[in-house]
Amino acid sequence: MRVLVISDIHANLHALEAVLAAAPAHDVVWNLGDVVGYGANPEEAIDGARALGSLVVRGNHDRACAGLMGIEDFTENAARAVRWTQKVLSAERREWLRELMAGPVAPEGSAEVSCVHGSPRDEDEYLFTFNDAWPLLRRPAARITFFGHTHVQGGFASNGEEFFHLRPDLDGGDEAEEAELALRAGARYLLNPGSVGQPRDGDWRAAFALYDSARSLLVWHRVPYCVAEAQKRIRAAGLPEYLADRLSEGR
Ligand SMILES: [Fe+2]
């Protein structure tokens, strides 16, 4: 099975369209959440996510925009984007957000895989560092866990004795690029496809991954998209300037 793994679209329609145009052939899509928040096209992002299939794990911004959680802990910029999103979303799309599944979600036909937004033990937990990841790799709920939330492409692995911090071997720049990771039998993985709509790993290009279970292969991808257009929409919507600026810097 070939799986397109995406996360953190964050209402960035232009990035989502670029990802879908560049994605290699696949059988199914696993979406790790945060479809909305920050960006200026939440309705289109929801429609796009819905069209891709049923495995969508809810993210914290999805819950906030659906009114399922308070935003006291959000930054001022994030909170402003939540309030704006709540205003522009139709009742029907808001209901779709409310109904999204909490992770971990086990994809059909993939016994060794789990999908989460933040981490397997807490949907809001960030897995940035070794210290965050190693307890989960020592006693994994699934051999391979796909996670998002950090907006950083990469992940962690363990062969039972050693732990590895995984970063895609990419050159950067403005062109489309990809990096392969051969998944070893017996090893455990926490894998992040990166963020479609608001990368924070110093690379402005939209991120996604292609998981090929038959070949035990993960391919991380980066694709350029029309950042200027996404920024224009954010500014036109009256959303915080910072949310536009950060897109071109990947931060
Ligand atoms: Fe996010």
Q: Which residues contact 139 (CB under 8 A, 6 or more apart)?
A: none
- Please write the tens of the pLDDT for every residue from 18-61: 999 999 999 999 999 999 999 999 999 999 999 998 899 999 99
Q: Which residues contact 213 (CB under 8 A, 6 or more apart)?
A: 1, 2, 3, 110, 113
pLDDT band at 240 (very low <50, low <70, confident <90, very high): very high
Domain boundaries, the chain: 2-249
Q: Measuring CA to CA, which residue among 32, 234, 53 is closest to residue 152?
A: 32
In this model, does residue 231 exceed pLDDT 90?
Answer: yes
In this model, does residue 160 exceed pLDDT 90?
Answer: no
What is residue 140's predicted lDDT score, i.e. its pLDDT? 84
- Please write the tens of the pLDDT for every residue from 92-151: 999 999 999 999 999 998 889 999 999 999 999 999 999 999 999 988 889 999 999 999
CA of 17 to the centre of ligand 1 (A): 18
**What are the two backbone dihedrals, phi and then psi, of residue 219, each rounded to the nearest 5 degrees?**
-120, 120
Rounded to 10 deg, the angle between the 241-249 and 227-236 helix axes is: 170
CA-CA distance, 18 to 14, in Å (whole number)?
Answer: 6
CA of 161 to the centre of ligand 1 (A): 31
DSSP state of 96: H
In this model, does residue 83 exceed pLDDT 90?
Answer: yes
CA of 168 to the centre of ligand 1 (A): 20
Cβ proximity of 222 and 205 under 8 Å:
yes
In this model, does residue 248 exceed pLDDT 90?
Answer: yes
CA-CA distance, 202 to 239, in Å (whole number)?
Answer: 22
3-state secondary structure of 125: coil
CA of 37 to the centre of ligand 1 (A): 8
- The beta strand positions in 124-230, using DSSP E, are 144-146, 154-158, 163-166, 177-182, 188-192, 206-212, 217-223
Cβ proximity of 165 and 134 under 8 Å:
no
CA of 61 to the centre of ligand 1 (A): 7
Burial of residue 106 (CB within 10 Å: 0-12, 13-18, 19+) is middle
CA of 7 to the centre of ligand 1 (A): 8
Which tokens hold the place of 68? 């399922």
CA-CA distance, 163 to 188, in Å (whole number)?
Answer: 9
Query: Does CATH place domain 2-249 in 3.90.25.10?
Result: no
CA of 205 to the centre of ligand 1 (A): 16
Which tokens hold the place of 145? 């866990």
CA of 241 to the centre of ligand 1 (A): 18
Which tokens hold the place of 221? 């991808």
What is residue 225's predicted lDDT score, i.e. its pLDDT? 98
pTM: 0.97
CA of 148 to the centre of ligand 1 (A): 7
CA of 124 to the centre of ligand 1 (A): 10
CA of 4 to the centre of ligand 1 (A): 18
CA of 95 to the centre of ligand 1 (A): 20
What is residue 6's predicted lDDT score, i.e. its pLDDT? 98
Tokens 């051969």 identify what position? 182
CA of 200 to the centre of ligand 1 (A): 10
The average confidence (pLDDT) of the chain is: 97
Region 207-212: mean pLDDT is 98
What is residue 54's predicted lDDT score, i.e. its pLDDT? 84
